[in-house]
Structure 1
Amino acid sequence: MSATTTTATSKRIGVILGSTRKGGNALGLAKWVSTFLQKNIPDEIEIVVVDPVTPPQPLGPLLHPQMPSLVKELSDYPTEPIRDWSRFVSSCGAIVVITPQFNWGYPGELKNALDHLYYEWHGKPAMMVTYGSRGGAKCAEQLRQVMGKGLKIKLVGRDVLVSLPHDYIAGEERVKGDEEFLKAFEESLKEASDELYELMGGEANAPA
């Protein structure tokens, strides 16, 4: 079996969380994005949120002696977790990455998840939702290089940059997914998700 063989419906969207930080905002933002996608994409879709600390992750460090760009058969991956990760990514018709910005970049665990595979990413439609005190633009800029240029992922033209209030970063508040301040980012989320769906082969909803 090829490492890039699609094993499930193309209407599956994998939502990859970029950080393993406990008690963070990623799960709440994933709920916000998932709910929005389910309401605004015309077809029935399956949305699968991938927590970096549960299967098909975590993957551990990249120890494979062979570069992923040289792996074209699923059986050539050295461990079952990596094979599971390959199967999952291949099964998705599109990917959504939700990640915080750390020190003007993106978390190492997200780079690790991306680097374990190569051909599975090629041509995969994807959108990014980054967040931080100023929306995570530096993080998104770096990911565009890695995902778009390096892994040949088909990124939508607009990133969703969510600026979190101070209490959600330095205080005790955490995003639950229904906060009033998130409404300010719905327009960019709709634009990005409409393009994502079109790249999946669908026809986006008309503007309200």
Structure 2
Amino acid sequence: MLTLACLLLLFTPQIAQSAESAKTDSATFAAGCFWCVEAQFLQLEGVSKVVSGYTGGHVANPTYKAVCTGKTGHAEAISIVYDPAVITYDELLEAFFVAHDPTQLNRQGNDVGTQYRSAIFYHSAAQKEKAEYYIRKLDEENIYPKKIVTEVAPMEKFYVAEEYHQNYYNLNKNQGYCQFVITPKLEKFKKVFKDKLKESK
């Protein structure tokens, strides 16, 4: 059976990516607790910045406490700044689908609620096209036992989360959630992307 990485490589669509000529570009993903996802994407060569925050909701300037109620409509998300000459949007999508289970609706593991939904917030028509393409292909090839439920929506307003959420894992590695939830996910992620990690260069 093809690995996810091989499948994405095989199915890479011939879609023009104008960002290739740009110095940096942006991507925004929601894949459960932003502490986990931030820690994963910070590992990748070509990713210069990852910010945790909230997007996709209807309340201005939401707080973490408000988002946790599930009533603001926001998802916990990460905003990524990356160099498309080093890592492509296709590779970021690959990392996104490895970083979490995109078939779980409004939850990741024990984190339950719409704020933990799987979502790709696209910044351009090209990003939208690629996101929809990969979801369709992954479903067609039955890579997951269930259908992907990832939301694909336009990036609108991103609210930066409170300071204590930023770089949370690296600053709190001894905390229980970090040890028992984030560390195992991070180690698995690093094995899959061992040739694309900053520390491998």
Q: TM-score, normalised by structure 2?
A: 0.34
TM-score, length basis structure 1:
0.33
**Greater strand content:** 2
